[in-house]
Amino acid sequence: MTSGPTRSWPRAAAGRRSRLRIIAFLGVLVLVAAFAGHTLTQSGRHRAAVGTTPEIRTFCPGAGQGPCAELGVLDAVLDGRAGRPDGSAVQPLSALQLNLCNSGQAACYPQLNKGRAVGEAFSAITALRPQIVTLNEICRDDVATTLYPAMVENFPDDHVFWAFQPAGDPADSSQPYRCRNGDQYGIGILGRVGAGNWHGVSVFNGLYPDQGGLPDELRAWLCVAVVDNYYACTTHLTYVSPTVALGQCRRLLQVEVPAMRAVVGSVAPVVVAGDLNLVPGGTPDVLTCVPAGYQQTGDGGVQQLMASGDLHVGQTRTYEMHHTDHHGWFVSFNP
C-alpha cells in the first residue's frame, strides 16, 4: 500500500509533461494558424488599402429629384495640388464598360455571380488599364472600396477618383434603392487624370423624369466633369419599356450632357457608356438617341458607348466575364 504513491508520482509527472507538450504543440499550431489567417486577411484587404483613402464629397440633385451622388478624390487632388508631369499624361483615352449584376436581387446573381463578379472586374481593370470605367448594377462599396484601388494600382503617380449614384427607391424617390446586403445600389464611374493635367472634377447627376414603372427601380444618370480633360457619363436604362428607355437615352445625351458642358465651360470630349437596354436596329433603335456628330459603338447587345466627334474610336474588344451576364466592353480612342 505504501509503494503505490511512490510509483504513481513519476507516472503522473510524465503524464503532466506529456500533456504540457501537447498543449504547447497545440498552442504553436494556433499561433501558426492565427498568423496565416492574419496574413490572408491582410492580403485580402490589400486591394482595399492601396493608396490614400480619398476624401468624399456629396452632390445632391435637388429636393425630390433623387438620392445624392458621392465623389471620392485624394486630398491632394481636392486641395488643387497638381502632381508631377510624366509620360503617362499623354496616354490615349480609353474606356471600359462593365455591368456586374451585383445587387443580389437579379436572377443572374445566384446563377453566375455569387459574389465573384467584382473581383473579376478588378482583374479586368488591372489588365486593360482603362482611364475611364463605367459601372452598372453595382453596390456603393464595390466602387468606393473594392474597385477604386484597381485604378490606384494602375496609375500610382496620377490622380484617380470614383463616383457613385444610387438608383431611386420607387416607394420614395429621395431614398436610394438597396442591394440585398443593405448597401446602396446603382451606377458608378472610376477615372484617371494624368499627373500635371489636373484642373478639378465635379459631378452631375439625377433621376430621369420618366420611369418604366414597377417592378423597376428608379433609373438614374451620373456624369463627371474632369475639367479640360474629359466628361464621362454612365447610366443603366429601364428594361420595362423600350420607349421609356429611348426617352431616357435622349434626356441624357441631348439635354443633360449639353447642360453640363455649358455649366463647366470646357470643350473637352464626352464619353457616355452603359447598359441602355436598347440595340442598334431595334424597335426603337438606340441610334436615334445619338446626337449629331457623335460616334456610337457597342458590344452587339445592350451595352453601348457614345463619344463626341472630337474623339476617334480606335480599338474595341470584348473582355470575357464569367460571373455576370454581360462581358466587359473596352474602347480606346485614337488621338
- CATH code of the domain covering residue 319: 3.60.10.10
More confident residue, 156 or 97: 97
**Contacts of 113 by beta carbon, 8 Å cutoff, 6+ apart:** 100, 101, 102, 323, 324
318 and 231 in a common domain: yes
- Mean pLDDT, residues 163-178: 96
pLDDT band, very low/low/confident/very high, at 90 (cuts 50, 70, 90): low
Query: Domain containing 297: what range?
Result: 54-334
Look at the chain and report how many structural domains it folds into: 2
Closest CA relative to residue 152, chosen from 234, 77, 242, 208:
77
Burial profile 241-264: b = 16 or more Cβ within 10 angstroms, e = fewer:
bbebbbbbbebbbeebbeebbeeb
Distance of CA 181 to the CA centre of its chain: 17
14 and 101 in a common domain: no
328 and 278 in a common domain: yes
Give the lowest-confidence range in 40-54, 78-92, 221-235, 316-330: 40-54
Residue with cell 464595390: 142
207 and 157 in a common domain: yes
More confident residue, 256 or 85: 256
Bridge partner residues of 168 (DSSP): 176, 218
CB 207 within 8 A of CB 219: yes
pLDDT at 75: 54
Q: Where are the alpha helices (DSSP H) in the chain?
A: 3-49, 75-78, 108, 117-128, 140-141, 148-154, 242-251, 257-264
Write out the three cell numbers for 17: 509533461
182 and 119 in a common domain: yes
Closest CA relative to residue 165, chosen from 315, 65, 254, 265:
65
CA atoms within 13 A on the CB side of 221: 27
Average pLDDT, the chain: 83
187 and 104 in a common domain: yes
pLDDT tops 50 at residue 25: no
229 and 138 in a common domain: yes
Residue with cell 470605367: 133
18 and 106 in a common domain: no
**Contacts of 36 by beta carbon, 8 Å cutoff, 6+ apart:** none
Q: What is the DSSP letter of 53?
A: P
- Mean pLDDT, residues 54-81: 79
pLDDT tops 60 at residue 10: no
- Mean pLDDT, residues 183-188: 97
128 and 42 in a common domain: no
58 and 28 in a common domain: no
26 and 74 in a common domain: no
pLDDT tops 70 at residue 72: yes
Closest CA relative to residue 220, chosen from 67, 325, 118:
67
Give the lowest-confidence range in 85-94, 98-107, 244-253: 85-94
59 and 3 in a common domain: no
Residue type, 124: A
Alpha-carbon distance of 145 to 47, in angstroms, equals: 8
Write out the three cell numbers for 66: 433623387
Give the lowest-confidence range in 19-23, 177-181, 322-326: 19-23
Bridge partner residues of 186 (DSSP): 138, 166
Alpha-carbon distance of 251 to 257, in angstroms, equals: 9
